Amino acid sequence: DAGVTQSPTHLIKTRGQHVTLRCSPISGHKSVSWYQQVLGQGPQFIFQYYEKEERGRGNFPDRFSARQFPNYSSELNVNALLLGDSALYLCASSRQDARSGNTIYFGEGSWLTVV
C-alpha cells in the first residue's frame, strides 16, 4: 500500500511568489495535517483537516491556507513568499482526527527554498 505521498519533492521560488504543495493521504485515512520544519528544528503544526473541514490551525499568518478535497487529498497554499518560509513542509495522515490519539503517518515532505 502506498504511504503518504507529497509533491513536488523539491522546489525553488522567488520572494513574493505563491506556492501550492500537494498531499495524498494513505488510502482510508480521512485526516490530513500540515507541518513546517525549518532546518535544525522540530516540525511546527500549520493545519489539520478532517472530513474536508478545518479542525485545527497553528500560529501561522493568513498567507498560509489549505483545503481538503472529497477524495481526502489536500493542498497547502502559501502566498507572498518570504525567505523565512524556506523549510521542509510535511504532510501527515491518520484515520481519525487528533483527538483520537491514533497513529499519524508522515510523508517525505516537500523542500521549499525561497530566494
Partner 1 sequence: TQLLEQSPQFLSIQEGENLTVYCNSSSVFSSLQWYRQEPGEGPVLLVTVVTGGEVKKLKRLTFQFGDARKDSSLHITAAQPGDTGLYLCAAIIQGAQKLVFGQGTRLTINP
Q: How far is the CB of 46 from partner 1 (least distance, A)?
A: 9
Q: Which of residues 48-107 bind partner 1 (CB under 8 A)?
A: 48, 55-56, 58, 90, 92, 97-99, 101, 103-107
d(CA 34, CA 47): 5
Q: Which residues pair with 67 in a beta bridge?
A: 75
Q: How far is the CB of 84 from partner 1 (least distance, A)?
A: 17
Q: For binding to partner 1 (CB under 8 A), which residues are involved?
A: 4, 33, 35, 40-45, 48, 55-56, 58, 90, 92, 97-99, 101, 103-109
